[in-house]
Structure 1
Amino acid sequence: MRVLVTGGTGKVGGAVVRAALAAGHEVRALVRDLDRAGMDLPPGVELVPGDVTNPSSLADACDGCEIVYNAMGVPEQWLADPSLFERVNVRGSVNLTRAAAATGVIRMVHTSTIDVFDAPPGGHFDETNLAVRAKSTAYERSKQQAERAVLATAGAMEVVFANSATVYGLGTTGNASMETQMFRPVLRGLLPAVPSGGFGVVFTEGLAQGHLLAAERGRSGERYILCDEHATVMHLARTVAKVAGRGRAPVITIPTPVMTAMAVAGEAVAKITRRPPPIARCQLQYLLWNATPDSSKAQRELGWHPTSLSEGIRRTITETGLREA
């Protein structure tokens, strides 16, 4: 089967590319930079130049494909220019959906997020808890809008949503990634204290398998939460140290008022430097939401299997070079 993957040089898209190749598919990747993609993506991937924000570049990429995995997007919670969320996550998804539907693509798997769901702080949620009101951050609102826009644009093409928890694992690492903000500092003994709260996590390679299963078995129009488990920030950091057998686990939980003040101050500086703050208010809000996602539907309907936290962390450390960090 010939498939197209967007966002192939990113963490999620890259994992989907690897999984699709391993499954024997003909994999085509939409890329903005052929030279960079040639270094980042494995051999055997057909590279097609294009950009989801440029509709005229998408028809050729979609032509002849049966499945499109829309794994591109702006995942950061904070940006100096927040309009980028709408431009890429929403309009880019609409452009791709139109091109895919017009060229006869059978099914699209759209990478979304658990942020589109609602629950009280510390509560539990599943796919029935779709938020009916606009969420409080530009990133979250863009993901809500993208889901609605994709459904409205798809026509007869089938669409399945893969609603991902916080992603960690193999592939590229950004400023806000768990590898940068937690794994590396813990391994270097530089994270004595962490915020309170927690979130759902999912390992890249398991998330990619969830995408392939959604393409094969998912019901059109349905959402599937892909989350290995919920963990507190403290538990995550301590597990990194335990699995690695070195580093220093944090022992102090930073009080929420202190974290709030740090986030406000960090954003004030970020407005001047145009660089992401150590933690943004929206990131802190996500931690304090501390809600537990339920992936039972994906396990039941797709046959998806979560990855244990210790196994995912072990592979991340050993296969990304973090052991030498």
Structure 2
Amino acid sequence: APDIPGFGNSRFGLSRARQSRVLGSMHVLVLGSTGFVGQQVLSILLERQYTVWCLVRTEPPSASVHVIRGSVESQSDIAAAIGDSCCDVVINLAGVYAWWLPDPQRFEAINVQGVANILGAIAQCSIDTRPRLVHVSTVLAYGRPQGRGLTDATAFDEDAAPGPTTSRYAASKQAGDDLVRTALASGAASGCICFLACCVGADPKLMARECDVMRIRDLVDGSLPAVISSGATFTYVYVKDAAEAIVRASAMHDPAAADGACYLIGEGRLRTSEYYAMIEELCGTPRPRREVPAWLAMLGARILTRYADQVTRQMPTAPLDLVRTASSGTLLFDAGRTTAALGMKYTPIRTAFAEAIDYITDAMTGSEAMAEQAAEREALVDKEM
């Protein structure tokens, strides 16, 4: 059998038996398949008739996948999943993404120790059965590369050295990424890292305020009292495009790709003012007219977050990590090399936000209808009594 582009140049390579099987149907083990991006990755893999296995703690994400019960918090669970699936590729989408948690150790447990467990499980495999790892992270994990990211001329690229981060989430992802970089550089693992811009699209978590990290629902229903004064520019990506890029990286569609490659995924740049204006235009709800200076927002966030940490144990209205990230300034990257390598053509980011807002408004309309029906039933019962 001929070498498969991308696999034949791998540091470890694949056995001929595995290469022959990949020509038919690549076996993929997905970690984090029930998440926002994970569900989209799963959909593409199944559509393209890959053989898909998922390590899950709860209900399986699809009836069409092979399910293995377990968690990334257990190296033995991951090792068993790799062995049972005979996978060619492990896609790690598992992660904790939040601006505040009542137990901040969860960031470390999943985003750092979970990655260590994955690498440990892969290291247990023999050379000819060792799967490639596609580790999925966030551009926020690059932090603030020294002297980079503030303008088009200084936009950082895939080779930039990560800098200081602005949140516990980003810091934990950076620490997990460092473990993967070290493993890839030393030859302990084979694969790549995908760094995603902020993913946008329809997602049930948009209806849970503690999970809506971009506060889109609060802007749609008009409950956000104020916004932070900022001229910062951030980058967004349609979630289905992010999933497509991950699958392409997993299948090594780029024949020149080498182990240890980093991919920057996304190109939909928006200034903060453009972000608010777009959401206002799409949903019809006026954006908050009150703007809070960054220094004042930081002061308030420190107080609210400390109170949440020590007293309420509930997410504050303005978590410190969110305010710190939003007010830290522009973060620009140049994804041209990744876009060419993976052959990506990105969906206009307006389409992604329109889909997200349509989902929110439909869900809100449905909730209101259910509330009205419940009220009518109660009124009928009262009348009968």
Q: 1:110 to 1:322 in 2, by over 3 A?
A: farther
1:136 deviates by 5.2
Specify which of 214, 218, 237 is matched with residue 249 of structure 2.
214
Q: 2:293 and 2:214 mapped to 1: Cα distance?
A: 18
Q: 2:138 and 2:269 mapped to 1: Cα distance?
A: 15
Whether the 8 Å CA contact 1:10–1:171 is kept in 2: the answer is: no
1:81 deviates by 2.7
Q: 1:9 to 1:169 in 2, by over 3 A?
A: same
Specify which of 315, 319, 325 is matched with residue 276 of structure 1.
315
1:321 deviates by 4.7
Aligned to 1:10: 35
Counterpart AA for 2:175: Q
Q: 1:122 to 1:68 in 2, by over 3 A?
A: same
Aligned to 2:54: 29
1:109 deviates by 0.8
Whether the 8 Å CA contact 1:15–1:171 is kept in 2: the answer is: no
Whether the 8 Å CA contact 1:69–1:108 is kept in 2: the answer is: yes
2:150 paired with 1:122: yes
Whether the 8 Å CA contact 1:234–1:253 is kept in 2: the answer is: no
1:75 deviates by 1.4
1:208 deviates by 0.5
Specify which of 124, 143, 147 is matched with residue 177 of structure 2.
147
Deviations 1:239-274 (CA, angstroms, capped at 9, x unpaired)? 123234x32233443221221122112102211112
2:226 paired with 1:193: yes
Q: 1:171 and 1:237 mapped to 2: Cα distance?
A: 19
Aligned to 2:22: none
Aligned to 1:51: 71
1:177 deviates by 4.6
Deviations 1:69-128 (CA, angstroms, capped at 9, x unpaired)? 100011123333322222211111121122234342432110111123234573432223
Q: 1:153 and 1:129 mapped to 2: Cα distance?
A: 18
Whether the 8 Å CA contact 2:235–2:270 is kept in 1: the answer is: yes
TM-score, normalization by structure 1: 0.88
Give the stretch that moved more between structures: 284-293 or 149-158: 149-158
2:320 paired with 1:290: no
Give the stretch that moved more between structures: 80-89 or 5-14: 80-89
2:201 paired with 1:169: yes
Q: 1:254 to 1:23 in 2, by over 3 A?
A: farther
- Aligned-residue sequence identity (percent) comes to 25
Q: 1:252 to 1:321 in 2, by over 3 A?
A: closer
Unaligned runs of 5+ in 1: none
1:3 deviates by 0.7
Deviations 1:3-59 (CA, angstroms, capped at 9, x unpaired)? 1111111112222112211222122111112xxx23xx2331222111111111112
2:121 paired with 1:99: yes
Unaligned runs of 5+ in 2: 1-25, 365-385
Larger Rg: 2
Q: 1:279 and 1:305 mapped to 2: Cα distance?
A: 35
| Structure 2 counterpart SS, 1:125 | coil
Q: 1:241 and 1:57 mapped to 2: Cα distance?
A: 46
Q: 2:355 and 2:275 mapped to 1: Cα distance?
A: 15
1:324 deviates by 4.2
| Structure 1 counterpart SS, 2:215 | helix
Q: CA RMSD for the aligned pairs?
A: 2.3
Aligned to 1:87: 109
Q: 1:16 to 1:293 in 2, by over 3 A?
A: same
Counterpart AA for 1:316: A
Q: 2:318 and 2:289 mapped to 1: Cα distance?
A: 19
Whether the 8 Å CA contact 1:110–1:161 is kept in 2: the answer is: yes
| Structure 1 counterpart SS, 2:270 | strand
